[in-house]
Structure 1
Amino acid sequence: MAELAGATEAPALRRVVIIDDHGIFRAGLKSEMSGRVQVVGEGHDVDSAIAAVRAALPEVVLLDVHLPGGTGGGGAEVVRACRDLPQVRFLAISVSDQAEDVVSVIRAGARGYVTKTISTTELAAAVESVATGDAVFSPRLAGFVLDAFGTAGVADVRDEELDRLSAREVEVMRLIARGYTYREIASELFLSIKTVETHVSKVLRKLQLSSRHELTRWAERRRIV
């Protein structure tokens, strides 16, 4: 049968990898986004996420922020591990709307951050925007990025010193900078005091600082206290 005059092919769907530690969420998201994107891979933890991204080389990765595995860096660790793949862009999607989660993953190199309350239509639009190089944030979260990075573009917000720290080390560092004692940090993060001491030692070593006072000033200069 001859093709109809003037007929055009539908645009190709954006190739997407879905990363989340809950299988039921991945399945639900895949179903909801059917016909809007082409899901070419999935991952459930840091290691499987990195492997899936490298195997599929998608245009956009829908990335949960809190992931098990790896060295404890969560979604931000996945982004950092894939920095040598400039064609892959990351869009964080999480239940968390905490400033530290937003700042951590954007500083690592993600192009956007939305919460899981987003509608399917809005998420499809966000994927398209990120795929074309734009930055996308849920309205409330955009303020966190501006507070943390001023008017700098998302591509310029990485901090190589902060990138040395795992997500847990960043949490401990922030509480130290706020004046918490080791015992208070242990209670807040459900850790042992010994573990807190180990994290603090690693933070000081990685940042080449010698005291809590220096660490506090370091955090204040970056407005991440």
Structure 2
Amino acid sequence: MRNDVTLEWGGTTLTLLPERAVWWAAESTLFIADPHFGKAAAFRFAGIPVPETSHEDDLERLTHILTHTSARRLVILGDFLHAKTGRNESMFAALRTWRESHAALEIVLVEGNHDRRSGTLPEDLRITCVKGPWPLGPFHCRHEPQEDAEAVVLAGHIHPSYGLSDRLGTSVRAPCFHFSARVVLLPAFGSFTGTHGIRPAATDRVFLVGTDAVIEVSGAVK
């Protein structure tokens, strides 16, 4: 059974989706971070044989949540592309086909560190590129997480994950949403990305992401 999590944050209501996205219903806006399109191609360019399927899977997942939410705006919190060596016609053809299927969708990319090195996006993708912090309602959208006295920050970059273990030594680690006092950190949207373990404060809120569920584990944070 699917399990989304809805909570109040920054004076508004946000919903955390197991597809590793945040839904802001009041503004019909979907947030994702770190899709890293072209990463598989960049690995192959470096001589590492990995299959070219991750961008197709990720675009299918993105289509699913856009359909599920009927979002009118998509905000990408950095690292849309992975590297200049990952730019190829196969990936851009898939992106163009996907974009044509969502022609009315407004897309805003908050520039990330990988975007700055990957080159300009094709104009026909119709993605507006901005530099962070980019203000949107009560939020400041940026790639690298950094507290802001003026607004709650939505960010990516870290690819956060969190691990739990029991007394028998059994452990599990999963991507997570990490809510601290002034920063909301999103998990990496891209399926072909690593993760970085976080060390949350006792007052932080942590939500593990599963295949079809988001589960709060804040009570287990030490």
Normalised TM-score (structure 1): 0.29
More strand by percentage = 2
Higher RCO (CA < 8 A, seq sep 6+):
2
TM-score by length of 2: 0.30
**Greater helix share, 1 or 2?**
1
